[in-house]
Homo-oligomer: A and B are copies of this chain.
Amino acid sequence: MRATYHDDLDSISASLVEMTNLVGSAMSRATTALLDADLTLAEMVIAGDEHVDALYRGIEAKAFDLLARQQPVASDLRIIVTSLRMVADLERMGDNAVHVAKIARRRYPSSAVPATLRSTVLQMGHAAEEIVAKAGSVIAKRDLVMAAELEKDDDVMDDLHRQLFTAILDDSWADGVEPAIDITLAGRYYERFADHAVSVARRVVYLVTGERSHPL
């Protein structure tokens, strides 16, 4: 019975890692769809969110089942409750990828990203992918070094986010209001995506060390 119980705990952790892969891949495709005005790719991201949601519900059901049947205490209890919260972060990250894909779809066949901002958006996409990949490693290996790196990546994301606003608000901005709105929203989605990944990593750090390195 206890063996099965720990198998169940491990399978929750494995599903969480799988979710990081899925939402990372979704954001990667969404970025390409946004930059290349690729409608097919955008639709794939939007439809693919169902898979993320299914994983969400599966993890949730398993966690509740463990709580109810095994009445875990102490660290196991904390792991399960933390998993329930991480899965909520990951589900939101999937939503953020979908939001980016929907901007691409809305502007198709144009690209929502002006030429002057392609490089910044591309870098935000890459930063998002790297952060979520690290979050996956943090979950899988409880790697605190990786968790610290991820915080730095998030600072990079915040810098890129600021660069977007600087560009939009500069006197030289010649693309008008509609692209400004698209870029403002896309920037927010990338930044939220990264924030949720940071939150996932911090929850693991808290599990391992019992210390909150940061406020909420």
Contact partners of A215 in chain B: CB under 8 A: 53
Contact partners of A81 in chain B: CB under 8 A: 64, 67, 81, 84
List the interface of chain A (C-beta within 8 A of B): 53, 56, 64, 67-68, 71, 73-74, 77-78, 81, 84-85, 88, 91, 165, 168-169, 173, 176-178, 180-181, 184-185, 188, 215-216
> Which B residue's beta carbon lies closest to that of A70?
B71
Give 19 A-B pairs besides A64-B78, A177-B180, A184-B184 with Cβ atoms closer than 8 angstroms: A53-B216, A56-B216, A68-B73, A71-B73, A81-B81, A81-B84, A84-B85, A85-B85, A88-B88, A168-B177, A169-B177, A169-B178, A169-B181, A176-B177, A177-B177, A180-B180, A180-B184, A181-B184, A188-B188
CA distance A181 to B185 in the complex (A): 9
Please report whether the interface of chain A is mostly helix, strand, loop or mixed according to DSSP: helix
Decide if A71 touches B68 in the complex (CB within 8 Å): no
CA distance A84 to B81 in the complex (A): 9
Contact partners of A77 in chain B: CB under 8 A: 64, 67-68
Decide if A165 touches B177 in the complex (CB within 8 Å): no
What's the minimum C-beta distance from A23 to chain B, rounded to whole angstroms?
A: 14
